[in-house]
Amino acid sequence: MRESTALDFNNLDIEKLTEGLLQNFKTVENMMTDFSKTYEQMNLDPFNLSELYREWFAAAIQNPAQMAQKNMEFWQNALHLYQRSAMGLMGIETEPVIKEARGDRRFHHEDWAKEPIFRTIKQSYLLVSQWLRSLVADVDGLDKHTAQKVQFFTERLLDAMSPTNFAATNPAVLQRILETKGGSLVHGLKNMMEDLERGQGILKIQMTDTNAFELGKNVAVTPGKVVFQSRMFQLIQYTPTTERVYKRPLLVVPPWINKFYIMDLQPKNSLLRWLVEQGHTVFVISWVNPDESYSDIGFDTYLKEGVLVATDVVEQITGESEMNAIGYCIGGTLLSTTLAYMKAHGDKRIKSSTYFTTMIDFSEPGELGVFIDEDQIGSLEERMNKEGYLEGSSMAGAFNLMRANDLIWSFYINNYLLGNDPRPFDLLYWNSDSTRMPAKMHSWYLRNMYLNNRLCKAELAIEETPIDLTTVDVPSCFVSTVEDHIAPWLSTYSGAQLFSGPVRFILGGSGHIAGIINPPEAEKYDYRVTDELPADPEEWAAGAEKLPGSWWPEWQRWIAPMSGEMVAARVPGSGNFKALEDAPGAYVKKRLGETVVAPPKPTRAGVTQPNKTKAAPAKRTAVKDDTGEKAWTIKAVVEPQAAAADDLTAISGIGPKLSAVLQKRGITSYAALAAMSADEIKALLLSEGAGYARYDTSTWPQEAERLKAK
């Protein structure tokens, strides 16, 4: 593991440095040799860029005059740069031919502006970037989607080509090498080696010191209790901080693509804590982090066994048949679908809905659209069908690629070129804490939402129940952010117009995360808000007054009149639903590479205790109460389950996928693994495919023997 304290490079022994450097190179060489054995099984062009750029070139050469004009402009600018660079070398001050965009933080080192050689390098890069952008812009003969993809991946190429990403052309790196007598390069190589080993031959850059955080200790610390759990989620009820609370409870539906504690990182910026302090009885769904056993779980399961069951439990705990709900990102997409489903079944328990950065109309998905087409979804489905899920790092990689300079290259420079250890940062810890996507659900979601945009067209059904958003008539509030690159506000605005009930639209500052997690005390950004939504969003933005600071108090003023009178505060676990454990619960603590929490056994309606039985899906039945209205109850069926297999992922080098392979071959216990030799294990893996050659099985029998003895 990386050292937590800074290295004293000046006191490093040069002879030991050299010896260590050679050993590091040998280790990396061995890792690359193992990795090269698997390259034939890898798709080295997952986005089919070769075909993409062939299409672009075929269209571009149809207008040779335009291409020649752009080339001529580039060479003229290059000549100007040559002349001014020569003058700079002679000590003559000149104006730059081109400047970096405002806010470009890559060139902050003073030598980029002061030293002639670095000024020339920077301007050469900026000129080439300008030229390539002009070549791929406004090309006749390309359809909109192809043109968008060409421009997106050209920008990613330019990000990678930046001179800041190379040691020889980055003045900050060169300065660091001199200061440390080369020690920074040695430590950077060690960091790279560790990341290669952690990624099993694939470079997975560590953005933050993950050992600096622990859920429930210094992140996700808002007091509360897990009061219900099923195979799909745990339900957290937070401890009140006021003597009296609003009568209507508040249910929060986070996205299943991320973990809920982005809303509860630190007390100073915790949205969940703030909601509790305003007098809300807050319940939050904590989704399970699924593995291959969830491959057949669909979107309908997240709706029926997720939001609907959570609604049932909230009602039974509080005794209130009316509540408010919040959905974040695709959690909001799920919430809107659930409301339409409930409307079709006469279920009126959710009385208001709030949507944070939520798309319902996917016709303009922004930069995420470059990843959505038939070829790419088909390729993704092929991968998911093999594993049963989409690895969380795949989605995280796509999001990081959209902001490559901030989320990839800055860490590449810091960790490897400068030789620094990653710094502790709670937001990046959360960002690295990925979740998996069940194969069936993710395929359905991509096809029906992004690819075919069926939700807003009323073309979807959940178990033969038509989903028509125009029937949703409860008051709604959409909160979006002006710089959101994941759920562009122009798209969320379009979705907000689909409902038949009153809608308030709030547009905050910043992006998908910072714009939502913006506590009033920070006094950051601004927001616009109205209850009137003209058809043209730009017209709305021009007419909406900007107000300073956080939108949180604005939302509270909207929700308060719909939250009922004040009643005595509700203590988690004080009723029939006893507290199972402290917040944030066990489900959210399962990181990639760890096994999924075994489904619990419901011992009575809504109360669960873990044991050696497996819970079947919760069943919901409708009965009539004294008023003739539908009331819902939860009934769970318990069926026997065989003794649980040993957790093979406790052995170094065995992840969930590999564990599944071993279990498929009958190796389900530490004892079975300990009885085999390292060569026998290797031979078994190779019988599954050449791609397993990279695994080092030499220590597995000994580790299994040690674990068996515990």
pLDDT band, very low/low/confident/very high, at 592 (cuts 50, 70, 90): low
The answer to whether 357 and 481 have CB atoms below 8 angstroms apart is: yes
What is the number of structural domains in the chain? 4
> Does 242 lie in the same domain as 145?
no
Judged by DSSP in three states, 703 sits in helix
For residue 641, the model assigns a pLDDT of 33
Which of 253-262, 593-602, 692-701 holds the top average pLDDT?
253-262
**SS3 labels along 51-83:** HHHHHHHHHHCCCHHHHHHHHHHHHHHHHHHHH
Residue 299 in this model has a pLDDT that exceeds 80: yes
pLDDT at 651: 84
- Same domain? For 37 and 55 the reply is yes
3-class SS of residue 147: helix
Write out the two tokens for 203.
Answer: 């470079």
DSSP structural state of residue 389:
E
Q: Residue 82, Cβ neighbours under 10 Å: how many?
A: 13
Clarify whether residues 292 and 169 are in a common domain: no
pLDDT in tens, 44-76: 566 778 888 999 999 999 999 999 999 999 999
List the one residue out of 676, 667, 683 whose CA is nearest residue 699: 676
Euclidean distance between CA atoms 58 and 139, whole angstroms: 10
Answer whether 235's CB lies under 8 Å from 224's CB.
no
Across the chain, mean pLDDT equals: 85
Q: Which domain CATH number covers 228? A: 3.40.50.1820
Helix (H) or strand (E) holding 679: helix 678-686
Buried/exposed code over 392-420 (b: 16+ C-beta within 10 A; e: otherwise)? bbbbbeebbbbebbebbbbbbbbbbbbbb
Q: Return the ∠ at Cα 9 (arms to 4 and 14), rounded to 5°.
A: 125
Whole-angstrom distance, CA of residue 482 vs CA of residue 460:
29
Give yes or no: residues 44 and 75 share one domain.
yes
Sign of the C-alpha dihedral, residues 563, 565, 571, 576?
Answer: negative
> Is the domain of 657 the same as that of 618?
no
Mean pLDDT value of segment 671-679 = 85
Is there a domain that residue 424 lies in? no
pLDDT at 3 over 70: no
Instruction: Give the DSSP per-residue string, 475-524.
Output: -EEEEEETT-SSS-HHHHHHHHTT-SS-EEEEEESS-TTTTTS--GGG--
Query: For 523, left (φ over 0), alpha (ψ -120 to 50), or beta?
Result: left
End-to-end CA distance of the chain: 25
- Torsion, Cα of 310, 313, 317, 320 (10° steps): 80
pLDDT band at 678 (very low <50, low <70, confident <90, very high): confident
Helix (H, G, I), strand (E, B) or coil at 422: coil
Q: Where are the extended beta strands (E) located within 214-311? A: 224-229, 233-238, 244-246, 250-253, 282-287
Of the candidates 135, 219, 297, 329, the residue annotated as catalytic is 329
List of residues 6+ apart from 527 with CB closer than 8 A: 506, 507, 508, 509, 546, 547, 549, 550, 551, 554
Query: What is the tens place of the pLDDT at every residue in 141-192?
Result: 898 889 999 999 999 999 999 999 999 999 999 999 999 888 898 899 888 8
Could you write out the three-class secondary structure of 122-139? HHHHHHHHHHHHHHHCCC
| CA nearest neighbour of 292 among 383, 200, 198 | 383
User: What counts of helices (H) and strands (E) characterise the chain?
Assistant: 25, 23
> What is the domain extent for residue 616?
611-638
How many angstroms separate the CA atoms of 142 and 151, rounded?
A: 12
Region 517-525: what's the mean pLDDT?
Answer: 94
Strands of 196-243 (E only): list them. Answer: 224-229, 233-238
Does some domain include residue 691? yes
Are the CB atoms for 256 and 435 separated by under 8 Å?
Answer: yes
CA 569, distance to chain mean position in Å, is: 34
Looking at per-residue pLDDT, the higher value among 393 and 16 belongs to 393
The 10 Å CB-count burial string (b at 16+, else e) for 612-633 is ebbbebbeeeeeeeeeeeebbe
Query: Is 379 a member of any domain?
Result: no
In a domain, 140, yes or no: yes
pLDDT band at 225 (very low <50, low <70, confident <90, very high): very high
242 shares its domain with 158 = no
Residue 683: inside a domain, yes or no?
A: yes
| pLDDT (average), residues 701-705 | 86
* Pairing label, strands 581-582, 250-253: unpaired
pLDDT at 611: 31
Do 342 and 350 contact (CB within 8 A), yes or no?
A: yes
Question: Is residue 655 a part of any domain in this protein?
Answer: yes
Q: What length does the chain have?
A: 710
Distances in Å between the Cα of 464 and the Cα atoms of 309, 455, 524 are: 19, 14, 46
**Which residues, including other chains, have CB under 8 Å from residue 196's CB and lie 6 or more apart?**
28, 31, 202, 203
Q: Distance (Å, rounded) from C-alpha 339 to C-alpha 323?
A: 12
Mean pLDDT in residue range 277-282 = 98
pLDDT band of 31, cuts 50, 70, 90? low
Residue 590's pLDDT band (boundaries 50, 70, 90)?
confident
39 has a pLDDT exceeding 50: no
Query: Does residue 435 fall inside a structural domain?
Result: no
**Confidence class of residue 618 from pLDDT cuts 50, 70 and 90?**
very low
On whether both 144 and 94 belong to a single domain, the answer is: yes
DSSP string across 71-118:
HHHHHHHHHHHHHHHHHHHTT-----S--PPTT-GGG-STHHHHSHHH
pLDDT over 90 (residue 210)? no
Nearest to 329 by CA among 153, 215, 488: 488
Same domain, 21 and 62: yes
Residue bearing tokens 């009140």: 240
Provide the 10 A C-beta neighbour count for residue 90.
Answer: 8
Q: Which long-range contacts (CB under 8 A, 24 or more apart) does 679-685 make?
A: 685/658, 685/661
Q: Say yes or no: 666 and 625 in one domain.
A: no
Q: Is 456 noted as a catalytic residue in this protein?
A: no
Q: What is the pLDDT of residue 671?
A: 84
Q: Are 2 and 209 in contact (CB under 8 A)?
A: yes
Q: Is the pLDDT of residue 242 over 50?
A: yes
Identify the bridge partners of residue 235 per DSSP, sorted by sequence position.
Answer: 228, 285
Measured CA distances, 559 to 64, 326, 543, 565 (Å): 59, 11, 24, 12
Predicted confidence band at 633 (pLDDT cuts at 50, 70, 90)?
very low
pLDDT at 561 over 70: yes
Q: Which pLDDT score is estimated for 43?
A: 56
Distance (Å, rounded) from C-alpha 516 to C-alpha 509? Answer: 9
Closest CA to 207 of 24, 485, 430, 31: 430
| Domain of residue 680, CATH code | 1.10.150
Question: Is the CB of residue 509 less than 8 Å from the CB of residue 526?
Answer: yes
- Whether residue 168 is found in the same domain as residue 293: no
CA neighbor of 650 nearest in space, from 661, 658, 641, 639: 658
**Same domain, yes or no: 178 and 270:** no
Q: In this predicted model, what pLDDT tens digit does every residue of 460-512 receive, in sequence order?
A: 999 899 999 999 999 999 999 999 999 999 999 999 999 999 999 999 999 99
Assess if residue 630 is contained within a domain.
Answer: yes
Chain-centre distance for alpha carbon 213: 18
Which has the minimum average pLDDT: 5-9, 112-116, 550-554, 633-637? 633-637
Query: Is residue 134 located within the same domain as residue 13?
Result: yes
